[in-house]
Amino acid sequence: MSASHIEKHEFQAEIKQLLDIVIHSLYTDKEIFVRELISNASDALEKLRHLKLTEKEIFDDRLDLEVNITTDDKANTITIQDFGIGMTRDELVENLGTIAHSGSKQFLKAIKEGGEKNANLIGQFGVGFYSAFMVASEVKVYSHSWREDAPGCVWTSDGSGSYEIEDIEGQRRGTKIVITLKDDEKNYASDSTVKEIIKRYSSFVQFPINLNGEKVNTVDALWLRSKSEIKDEEYTEFYKFQANAFDEPRYRLHFSADAPLEINSLLFTPKDNPENFGLGRVEPAVALHCRKILIDPKPDKLLPEWLRFLKGVVDSADLPLNISRETMQDSALVQKLSRVITKRYLKFLGEEAKKRPEAYQEFFDVFGYFLKEGVATDFDYREDLSKLLYYESSVLEKGKTTTFADYVSRMKEEQKEIYYILGQNRESIESGPYLEGLKARGLEVLFLYESVDEFVMSNLREFDGKTLVSADQGDLKLDDAPKPDVEGSLDESQTKKLCSWLRDVIGERVQEVKASERLVDSPAIALSPDAYSAQMRRMMRAMNKEGGEAPFKVQFEINPRHQLMINLNEQREKNEDLAKLVALQTFDNAMVAAGLLDDPKDMVSRMYSILEQAATK
């Protein structure tokens, strides 16, 4: 092998596809390639800063941590150089020739799902390094790893199917990317154009960026400045930079504390929840700094999981500068930090809910899911979070919501429990049989529409000392409501006989048949002997999961004051066959109302038999 051995490589198929889109797309904001390459340079410098804490032998150790950009309008080039960690030959192949990172993967996925028109998502997903090919006729990447023993290399490609790598002498540590511009992209070789782009996208980068020898960025940490000096636009610009975002933040919380820890923090709540767009779980993105120095851009132990939608920065002067990402995981200090920030954010949400209820409701519609996840999974914040939940209720008009606290303030003196019903939507709850008994007694019921609410209720269990009770629970204890005195109502012994007859007719699908305490307008109701499993079952079905389908017996309650039961009781003496059909149909109807009917096919043929007999009379 010669000293400078040249290797030719094909790009991985997915990269070819990506490059093809990037090169041929009509994406208009091509200038974002500057942002992407500066961001890579900044990442590489950041990594080097960390390595310096642990490694003794670093190649070219005296170099400053900075980014140097030069433009040459004669040669039509723009060059971006950093003194970061650099790449070895193998790393060049791995990092620039295969689709390893999530941004471009997600971009390709979006293209596959939405077609070429999604090409304007390039900016949103950050196709990273490959964005250079939007403007380049050729890209050369000179790199020398921080490791002493790895030779320098140059990687060359025109973005069509392949690239070459060659060893090269005299390379400094880090990476230098030389872009030869396409004829119609020459403006990126102009000092003034590039300066403007850097100011727009990269002014918050924490390392000096020099353009043709002159420092361009301001390198100030917004979160350390006093609130009164910062304009709204500056905050928004910072959010977009920090979160790589394109929306305006919905909320921002800029706060400082001196005790128990010294904290300066700037937290943004985005406008949208990306998990709603089917992009999977978002990664935590509140960066941890110590006196401006970035310790970890995505620490996953800094904030609780359910706050993963937050963006921004936490800076604490109390952290040891040399804290590593590993020791951070179980540092008591980080836990303390987490607690202070989480509490502060929840307090902020509580204040917002009071001050601007409509804006809060919008927030809750988008991010309420995360708060509910917190209630269900995080004991530490359960109580704080439960105060931030809003639900529709039987006493409010559609679209209006209430907190548990407001519900409690409306409770009757003798009422000890908070009632709720989980259902598809308001209409199905209101037309179902579970509400009427509570309504007849003047009791308020909360309406829950999301399956996560099931977990919220079963984990929360109570609020302000009041037990949370599901209205479709079999053993719901209700005080006697005034029962309408219907002529012909079945007496106790008639009811008993009818119940035992029904038991025999319905068979193994029923555990118990008895007279209902709660029914007013409906003839019958199906209840789960233990409320949890009925709801669980409904949820499993909603999630379309197999399994959990063990034979399921319900409690069937009938209303002895309802005309249907009165007639049925008579009919079973006169025409038992018809009475049986009616009994089974009533049971299935109740199962449908409960959302528990597995297989409706018997129901239809049975219905025809009943109609047939009804039509002959």
Least Å distance, CB 83 to ligand ADP, is 10
**Using CB under 6 A, which of the segments 40-48, 195-203, 295-303, 421-429 binds ligand ADP?**
40-48
Q: Per the structure block, which two tokens stand in for 392? A: 């529709």
- Contact between residue 420 and residue 457 where contact means Cβ atoms under 8 Å apart: yes
Tell me which amino acid residue 301 is.
K
* Residue indicated by tokens 């924490």: 206
For residue 438, CA distances in Å to 380, 393, 441 come to 33, 12, 5
Among 21, 44, 371, 481, binds ligand ADP (CB under 6 A): 44
Distance CA 285, CA 279 (A): 15
- Contact between residue 210 and residue 203 where contact means Cβ atoms under 8 Å apart: no
Strands 209-211 and 67-72: parallel
Distance CA 393, CA 435 (A): 11
Total residues in contact with ligand ADP, by rule CB under 6 A: 16
Among 34, 71, 89, 128, binds ligand ADP (CB under 6 A): 128
Q: Per the structure block, which two tokens stand in for 4? A: 């400078």
The yes or no reply on residue 40 touching ligand ADP (CB under 6 A) is yes
Strand pairing partners for 556?
Answer: 513, 526
**Using CB under 5 A, which of the segments 22-30, 33-41, 407-415, 486-494 binds Mg ion?**
33-41
Question: What is the C-alpha end-to-end distance of the chain, expressed in Å?
Answer: 101
Among 22, 34, 36, 495, binds ligand ADP (CB under 6 A): 36
- The listed partner (Mg ion, ligand ADP, none) that binds 82, CB under 5 to 8 Å by sort, is ligand ADP
Q: Per-residue x/- mask for ligand ADP, residues 53 to 82, rule CB under 6 A?
A: -----------------------------x
The yes or no reply on residue 40 touching Mg ion (CB under 5 A) is yes
Residue 327: its H or E element: helix 325-329
Which one, 128 or 270, has the nearer CB to Mg ion?
A: 128
Radius of gyration of the chain measured on its C-alpha atoms: 33
Least Å distance, CB 47 to ligand ADP, is 8
Least Å distance, CB 244 to Mg ion, is 10
Least Å distance, CB 104 to ligand ADP, is 6
Which one, 280 or 548, has the nearer CB to ligand ADP?
A: 280
Closest-approach residue to ligand ADP (CB): 128
The residues in 153-182 that bind ligand ADP, with binding defined as CB under 6 A, are: 175
For residue 556, CA distances in Å to 475, 583, 603 come to 12, 11, 17
Q: Per-residue x/- mask for Mg ion, residues 398 to 427, rule CB under 5 A?
A: ------------------------------
Least Å distance, CB 79 to ligand ADP, is 12
Q: What angle do CA 612, 616, 617 make, to 5 degrees?
A: 125
Neighbouring C-alpha atoms within 13 Å toward the C-beta of 263: 25
Beta-carbon contacts of residue 185 (< 8 Å; ≥ 6 apart): 30, 134, 135, 136
Residue 259: its H or E element: none
Distance CA 367, CA 307 (A): 10
Which one, 42 or 559, has the nearer CB to Mg ion?
A: 42
Which one, 128 or 368, has the nearer CB to Mg ion?
A: 128
- The listed partner (Mg ion, ligand ADP, none) that binds 498, CB under 5 to 8 Å by sort, is none
Handedness of CA 595, 596, 600, 606 (dihedral sign): negative
The residues in 79-138 that bind Mg ion, with binding defined as CB under 5 A, are: 128
Least Å distance, CB 100 to ligand ADP, is 7
* Residue indicated by tokens 């000890």: 416
Distance CA 342, CA 348 (A): 10
Residue 226: its H or E element: none
Which one, 243 or 340, has the nearer CB to Mg ion?
A: 243
- The listed partner (Mg ion, ligand ADP, none) that binds 87, CB under 5 to 8 Å by sort, is ligand ADP
Which one, 128 or 299, has the nearer CB to Mg ion?
A: 128
Total residues in contact with Mg ion, by rule CB under 5 A: 2
Q: Where are the alpha helices (DSSP H) in 56-189?
A: 89-97, 102-114, 122-125
Distance CA 583, CA 564 (A): 10
Least Å distance, CB 82 to ligand ADP, is 5
The yes or no reply on residue 22 touching ligand ADP (CB under 6 A) is no
- Contact between residue 107 and residue 127 where contact means Cβ atoms under 8 Å apart: yes
Q: Per-residue x/- mask for ligand ADP, residues 461 to 500, rule CB under 6 A?
A: ----------------------------------------
Angular region, 246: left φ>0, alpha ψ -120 to 50, beta rest: alpha
Among 59, 83, 125, 129, binds ligand ADP (CB under 6 A): 129
Q: Per-residue x/- mask for ligand ADP, residues 80 to 119, rule CB under 6 A?
A: --x-xxxx-------xx----x-x----------------
- Contact between residue 254 and residue 265 where contact means Cβ atoms under 8 Å apart: yes
**Using CB under 5 A, which of the segments 35-43, 90-98, 529-537, 555-563 binds Mg ion?**
35-43
Interacting residues toward Mg ion by CB under 5 A:
40, 128
Residues that bind ligand ADP (CB under 6 A): 36, 40-41, 44, 82, 84-87, 95-96, 101, 103, 128-129, 175
